Amino acid sequence: MPEENVEILRRAYAALREEGVEGILRYSDPEIEFTTPSSLASEPDTYRGHDGVRRWFGSFDDAMEDVWLEPVTSTPLGEKVLVETLLHARGKATGIDTAQRAFLVWTMRGGKVVGLDAFPDEAQALEAAESG
């Protein structure tokens, strides 16, 4: 099952890149919950459900465009998968491409993402994944 979760997430990242936010929702449970900490977001928050996922991606609309996530490495941890991720975006006003590295802990159940927590470094992400 852990390797299957890695494959599901690989497809989810690809769907996001190719189709935008609606593509990744196919891989997300309708009750998904995820958090962004203040160390990674100017407006940290908890997002719930598909509308929450849309709201998170929509939060980039004023300043950024072409927002997508690139998986760098994936580590299966039972029902969780730790993915080192680069968030890519282009500034609307400047046209400058940028990337931010984060470590995402995806919680999987029944072939769907049910939870997502973001961390600025791998040690924090591993600790959270192994304790929760």
Give the pLDDT of residue 110: 95
Tokens 């609309």, residue? Answer: 61
- pTM confidence score: 0.92
Smallest Cα–Cα separation from 114: which of 48, 54, 51, 57?
Answer: 48
Give the pLDDT of residue 122: 96
- Cβ–Cβ under 8 Å, residues 56 and 118: no
Q: Which H or E run includes 79?
A: none
The CATH topology of domain 2-131 is: Nuclear Transport Factor 2; Chain: A, (3.10.450)
Q: Which H or E run includes 53?
A: helix 49-58
Domain extent listing, the chain: 2-131
Task: Show the low-confidence residues of the chain (pLDDT under 50).
Answer: none
